[in-house]
Structure 1
Amino acid sequence: MTITELPATTATALDDPDGALAWLADEADRLQQAGLHREPVVRQQGSSLVNLASNDYLGLSTHPAVIAGAHAALDTWGAGATASRLVVGTTALHVELENELADFLGFPAALAFSSGYLANVGAITALAGRGDLIVSDTGTHASLIDGCRLSRARVVVVDRGDHAAVRAALRDRTERRALVVTDSVYSIDGAPAPIAELHAAARDNSAALLVDEAHALGVRGPGGRGLVAELGLSGAPDLVVTTVLSKSLGAQGGVVLGSAVLRAHLIDRARTFIFDTGLNPAAVGAARSALGVLRADPTLPDRLRDNASRLASAVGAPSPAAAVISLVIGEPQPAVAAAARCRELGVLVGCFRPPSVPAGTSRLRLTVRADLDVALLDRVAAVVDDAVRGVGVR
């Protein structure tokens, strides 16, 4: 697959340069000068680039069984779900996937959404509203942040991982109901959140805890069941887990797991479920097959973490707790230059800049896969070292 970039947007693209949207050209120039302009990367067939920018942690997006599962679903159900899941958008395949995920992750029930983003927004807005409290932290994913904002609940934001501050916010509240939200593994640097302490803080103060396991499924826990399972918290009645089908399972979609009562409540109240077309059958079939591959080979997460540790050591990064390796460069422009140099040398890496990360911490983000061999990891390490040295960081 070759990787190309779309042409940069310019002021001449505006149909009405003197109209109400004329400010867009100035904003585009400002972002360009600051190193914050972004363009989608277009993948094409036949590239020799090593992809360390995806979240395909187990390498299952191209696994023959996963592709076959997608094909079988297409043959049976067609290309689209055709409607909201409350109309005719729920197939028997959707229900089978939900039941299998709930069983694998140790929860009574699960509900699939069209994306992880919609799962988080839907769950939060269905569980908290006006007159309620949400306690979040500075490391949560944008989908959790947007869910908090859309809920219209009072939101208290604490420092990442500060469970004492969470406990204080819950203790001092005047609201009857409260919800704590967090990632289990933070997406920027792969660090684990203090889930056990957060759960204890929530339980001691009659609050629920919502944990996003997007970067933990297939990576942490027994057989890849996630950090919640690793801590022995699966199925706790005051715990809600969200995760995705688009990372370790190599497909598309999001899932909310919890009690049967929670599932029923989400069907009635989660707007991103009620008013959205159901997840397409091919993605459901692919995810179900990927889950089967993971069940059959529970060593995949071990190989992934071994690869991550090897690469982190080779590039001089701390040993990661998950699959993400984060190399802080500093300002956006040198980070962009380092990522471009990696691409020139045959390795595609992530480049995270504000607002994805705080100012002054722009970085290269490397996401490792279970299917990479040692020789390839050593080659990647040499490329990354060259790129980082080239921008004067080492």
Structure 2
Amino acid sequence: MLFDDLEHALAELDRTRLRRRRRVLDSPAGPRVTVDGRQLLSFCGNDYLGLAADSDLVLALAEGARQWGAGSAASHLLGGHLRPHEALEQRLAAFLGMPRALTFATGYMANLAVAPALVGRGDEIFADRLNHASLIDAALLSRAGHRRYPHNDWAALERLLAASTARRKLILTDGVFSMDGDVAPLDRLFALAERFDAWLVVDDAHGFGVLGAQGRGVLSHFGLPASPRLVLMGTLGKAAGVGGAFVAGDERVIEWLISRARSYIFSTAAPPALAAALQKSVDLIEAGDDRRRQLQDLITRLREGLAPLAAQRGWRLADSATAIQPVIVGDNRSALELSAHLERQGIWVPAIRPPTVPEGSSRLRISLSAAHGAADVDALLAALRTMPPTQPETAH
């Protein structure tokens, strides 16, 4: 019975073109990857600065492993907090201009740590409707009231906050939204947090390393002042090129997370070699203005080429000025067919479908890196122009 249900459920995923399948790469991450014995020009990853295969970073990782071994062997609180972990946290805090930082093995774990530690029953979380799945799960785990406001609609958020009688309030948002590439109005959200005495928790997974002065992220991008009510999460496997995540904020917030954040307390610390490499990564980010300029030039080139093509084909471009450039085509079949057409041309761009994005907004998610060149963007645009027209998928 149980397996019959699973078989039927899997068949339904196939019918609706929603089953996920992994691809195996036989090459390091980068603009060109080898998949199934074939080299493809990739616009898949989140390696925004091209650091994942950077030779200096690879050497730092190898040296970290030689000096500190392969694993941490314990949780941070039970003997697994090694000197590279401590040095990385201090480096991140100084780079961000925050009192303290706390590192995690993954961004998902970092997000699961914060909201449930800061609010609970009788409190309320006010969350953007397009927040990442980890933020949604964190809100549910907190057991606080979960109020969702329309995407980036700070006026609607203001009304919800004004009507709330909760003792503690927490505004929860992505900084850069991972499927649309647009940026939250953090200046407005911070003003509301100040006015209504709320926490403002920001997931900066896709802004850290790319936006703001020297890549300091979305808080720097908006010029927000240091505030005890600001809590910042950032991942270290995207623009930073390695892996893991951090939470940065007030000294008291970090101390509270160390004692009360379950995903921190009950997890083995990441390998110390990763922390050693990430110290080098922060150096490269800080000195990476040339990389960020290259990335911005590619974003402009791509958008200028996509605009007339989208108008001709009936596609919609998201209002994004970041490295994430979605081409929204609508139904699942059209997105999959467009992705397959590009792969036949030697270009890999993933099709993103529900539940990752809302129904009717399936898309190609084009992700740019400073390691791409202008010729790569031109090749992608040329391949998109050769896509035959398709008929929209009809419901059955």
Query: Would you call these one fold, judging by a TM-score over 0.5?
Result: yes
Task: Report the equivalent of 1:284.
Answer: 275
Stretches of structure 1 lacking an aligned partner (at least 5 in a row): 1-18
1:227 aligned to which of 209, 218, 229:
218
Shift of 1:299: 2.7
CA contact (8 A) 2:17 2:332 kept: yes
Encode CA deviations 1:92-112: one digit per residue, 9 max, x unaligned.
111111111111111111000
Q: Is the 8 A contact 2:329 2:335 kept in 1?
A: yes
- Between the aligned partners of 2:153 and 2:321, the Cα distance in structure 1 is 18
Distance 1:309 1:53 in 2: 18
Unaligned runs of 5+ in 2: 28-32, 308-316
1:319, distance to aligned residue in structure 2 (A): 6.8
Tell me if 1:162 matches 2:153.
yes
Corresponding residue of 1:325:
325
2: distance between equivalents of 1:297 and 1:331?
38
Alignment of 1:18-57 (within 5 A): 19-45=1-27, 47=34, 48-57=39-48
What does residue 391 of structure 1 align with?
Answer: 390
The change in CA–CA distance for 1:105 and 1:223 in structure 2 (over 3 A counts) is same
CA shift, 1:287, in A, is: 2.0
Asked if the contact 1:49–1:348 (Cα under 8 Å) also holds between the matched residues in 2, the reply is: yes
Residue in structure 2 matched with residue 382 of structure 1 by the alignment: 382
Partner of 2:24, secondary structure, is strand
CA displacement, residues 7-63 of structure 1 (integer Å, 9 cap, x when unaligned): xxxxxxxxxxxx323201001010101010111111113722111110000110000
**How far 1:368 sits from its partner (Å)?**
0.3
Match of 2:312 in 1: none
User: In 2 relative to 1, CA 209–348 (structure 1 residues): closer, same or farther, beyond 3 Å?
Assistant: same
Letter matched to residue 95 of structure 1: E
Alignment of 1:334-373 (within 5 A): 334-373=334-373
* Equivalent residue, structure 2, for 1:134: 125
User: Distance between the aligned counterparts of 2:320 and 2:169, measured in 1?
Assistant: 32
Aligned-CA RMSD value: 1.5
Task: Give distance in 2, aligned partners of 1:282 and 1:340.
Answer: 38
104, 108, 118: which one aligns with 1:113: 104
Aligned-residue sequence identity (percent) comes to 36
Q: Can you list the C-alpha shifts for 1:66-91, whole angstroms capped at 9, x where unaligned?
A: 11111111111111121111112111
**Matching residue's letter, 1:200:** A
The Cα of 1:386 is off from its aligned counterpart by: 2.7
Distance, in Å, in 2 between the alignment partners of 1:344 and 1:118 is 37
Deviation at 1:347, TM superposition (A): 1.2
* Count of residues paired in the alignment: 374
8 Å contact from structure 1 (residues 335, 351) kept in 2: yes
Q: Is contact 2:182-2:319 (8 Å) kept? A: no
Tell me, yes or no, if structure 1 residue 83 matches structure 2 residue 74: yes
Q: Contact between 2:180 and 2:318, CA under 8 Å: does it hold in 1?
A: no
Quote the residue 2:314 is aligned against: none
1:332-369 per-position Cα deviation (integer Å, ceiling 9, x unaligned): 11211111221221111121100011111100000000
Letter matched to residue 391 of structure 1: T
The one-letter amino acid paired with 1:191 is D
Could you list the per-position Cα deviations for residues 251-283 of structure 1 after superposition, in whole angstroms to 9, with x for gaps in the alignment? 111110101111111000100000011112232
Distance 1:154-1:371 versus aligned 2 partners, 3 A rule = same
Counterparts of 1:146-185 in structure 2, within 5 Å, are: 146-185=137-176
AA aligned opposite 1:43: L
Give the drift of 1:318: 6.2
Q: Which amino acid aligns with 2:44?
A: A
Match of 1:64 in 2: 55
Please name the residue that 2:310 is paired with: none
TM-score of the pair, normalised by structure 2? 0.91
State the match for 1:9 in structure 2.
none
